[in-house]
Amino acid sequence: MEIARDKSLFLKEGERLDDLQRNGYQIIQNPEKFCFGIDAVLLSGFATAKRGDKVLDLGCGTGIIPILMAAKTDADVFYALEIQEESADMARRSVEINDLQKRIHIVSGDIKEAANIFDPASFDVVTTNPPYMISGHGIKNPDSPKAIARHEVLCDLSDVCRAASYCLKNSGKLYMVHRPFRLAEIIRCMSEYHIEPKRMRLVYPYADKEPSIVLIEGAKGGKPRMTVEPPLIIYEDKNKYSAEMVSDYGF
């Protein structure tokens, strides 16, 4: 008989346990440090992985993307790389709370050192929700977890694409969520590291507003041809999620 565990024992001061509305999974977060946003949830739905796949998440934060993808896909194993030890520690405890130790492995380390951490061409899928803002743009405290997550303080787009290309098998897939204002740079950077953009979807807060998020898939060594999917609208009215957000993402 399984003995019920008091999950509050996994929490440290300032932390909370949030329900992910998937398979009963939960995640540890500290709102004073950094909490995942809708971007990570959207990426976990945009990315695909099949049975037998080995998946790597670059810059996993507190582990939201591998945990959600473990619920949504049949991928065999997930590795998640995170440079901030406090976030990596929260991710490991979240993995344990959800009994996912056999599927998800949290690795402490720097994206720029991926070639010293993982074997080349060893992953079928790479996911990433990298910092969006160029380093130095509006940063008040560059050492804070929020600044590191949002700004290119410790790594930039080139570092992420280089690491993804190194880690991916030929024809392996990279899935990235980013901001549309950097789309031209994203495509150039992916191409520079031999990752061909194959699929893209723009996300709009409201139908009459500019897109605020871009989801993009690339294939290592792929041939040129990209599909642009229909737009995803987050809200159909103030504080009312669209039908697709409710049906596909559980909002």
Is 160 in contact with 112 (CB distance < 8 Å)? Answer: no
What sign for the dihedral angle of Cα 217, 218, 223, 224? positive
The CATH H-level superfamily of 37-249 is Vaccinia Virus protein VP39 (3.40.50.150)
Residue 2 has pLDDT above 50, yes or no: no
Look at residue 52 in the predicted model and tell me its pLDDT.
97
- Residue 28's CB: how many other CB atoms inside 10 A? 23
**Spans of all domains in the chain:** 37-249
Burial class (CB in 10 A: 0-12, 13-18, 19+), 4: exposed
Farthest CA pair distance, the chain? 56
Confidence category of residue 103, pLDDT binned at 50, 70, 90: very high
DSSP string, the chain: -PPPP-GGGG--TT-EEEE-SSTT-EEEEBTTTB---HHHHHHHHH----TT-EEEEES-TTTHHHHHHHHH---SEEEEEES-HHHHHHHHHHHHHTT-TTTEEEEE--GGGHHHHS-TT-EEEEEE----BPTTSS-S-TTSHHHHHHBSSS--HHHHHHHHHHHEEEEEEEEEEE-GGGHHHHHHHHHHTTEEEEEEEEEESSTTS---EEEEEEEETPPS--EEPPPEESEEETTEE-HHHHHHH--
Residue 1 has pLDDT above 50, yes or no: no
Residue 97, φ and ψ in degrees, nearest 5: -55, -40
pTM: 0.92
- Residue 136's CB: how many other CB atoms inside 10 A? 10
Q: Which of 42, 46, 49, 57 is nearest to 88 (CA)?
A: 57
Is 20 in contact with 43 (CB distance < 8 Å)? Answer: no
**pLDDT tens string 155-206:** 789 999 999 999 999 999 999 999 999 999 999 999 999 999 999 999 999 9
Residue 39 has pLDDT above 60, yes or no: yes
**pLDDT tens string 130-154:** 986 676 555 555 555 555 556 555 6
What gap in Å lies between CA 73 and CA 243, rounded to an integer? 22
